Amino acid sequence: MNIKHLLSRKNRFLTAGVMLVGLLLTIAAAGNILAPNDPAKVSLADKNLPPNQKYPLGADNLGRCILSRILDGAKSSLGVAFVAVGISVTLGTCIGIISGYAGGMVDALIMRITDMFLSFPSTILALTILAIAGPGFVNVVFSLSVVGWTHMARLTRGVTLAVKDSEIIQAGRAIGNNAPRILANYMLPQIAPKVMALIPIDISKTIMASAALSFLGLGIQPPMAEWGSMLNEGRQFIRSAPHEIIFPSLSLFLASFSFNILGEGIRIKINPYIAK
């Protein structure tokens, strides 16, 4: 793909999304280098200070640099989202393909299990899991993966049902491929574009869900920096020190916005008629 085509009118979402997400990942990777202060250093003499030369975005209720903690928290917030979405996409895609291709009782059983998970509100289910397992990075990833695979399973099942009797699949059977080979070599390439378009949207939703869990006190715990827990710590100072809420909120918004733009760009790339 040349630069002129990439910057064409119908691909501006993709260009902007790639640039924004690339910048976000660069900031997350280089957070320790870019941070002006130690994100964990407590200085009670500087607590709740507004933005100043020493603390460009101000200090929190323990005198820690908010900018440094936002940069450090990017690794936690994005790390949870990437790992949880990776697990849920892999699990949901495998389950959906198997369900759609097998059909019959296997399909009915898998879909009833999926419906059972969908019957619970996702946030309530994640909170229940964390209330039992306890907070922490691993448990947050686990809870978000448990609630995140269902819609991917339904999507891939639907696509599998639509293409499993197509000519390319029949040709694969005719030359002697067994079911695993057909699923891997013929079915998965048909499904992959639609899954790819949803992954950035899922990452955006998972970033917000992880922040919500941390805000409620069941996500990633202090002193590890995380945007949702920063909101939780700063909410009691919303009037006296609003910068403690504003800047973590902006970080969440910009991260979610960037992945949504990327997802829209991929969707337009897959189906160019959307942009017309």
> For position 139, what pLDDT does the model report?
92
Q: Is the pTM of this model over 0.85?
A: yes
Contact of 259 with 13, CB cutoff 8 Å: no
Q: Where are the domains of the chain?
A: 64-275
Contact of 59 with 47, CB cutoff 8 Å: yes
DSSP E strands, 150-201: none
> For position 244, what pLDDT does the model report?
92
Q: Is the peptide bond before 222 cis (omega within 30 degrees of 0)?
A: no
- CATH (residue range 64-275): 1.10.3720.10
**Tens place of pLDDT per residue across the chain (276 aa):** 444 444 445 578 888 999 999 999 999 998 888 899 999 899 888 999 999 999 999 999 999 999 999 999 999 999 999 999 999 999 999 999 998 888 889 989 999 999 888 888 888 889 999 989 888 889 999 999 998 899 899 988 988 888 887 777 777 778 877 878 888 887 888 888 888 888 999 999 999 999 999 998 888 887 788 999 999 999 889 888 999 999 999 999 999 999 999 998 888 888 655 445
Helix/strand/coil for 246: helix
> For position 221, what pLDDT does the model report?
81
DSSP at 242: T
Amino acid in the structure at residue 89: V
> For position 10, what pLDDT does the model report?
57
DSSP at 185: I
**Phi/psi of residue 242, nearest 5 degrees:** -65, -20
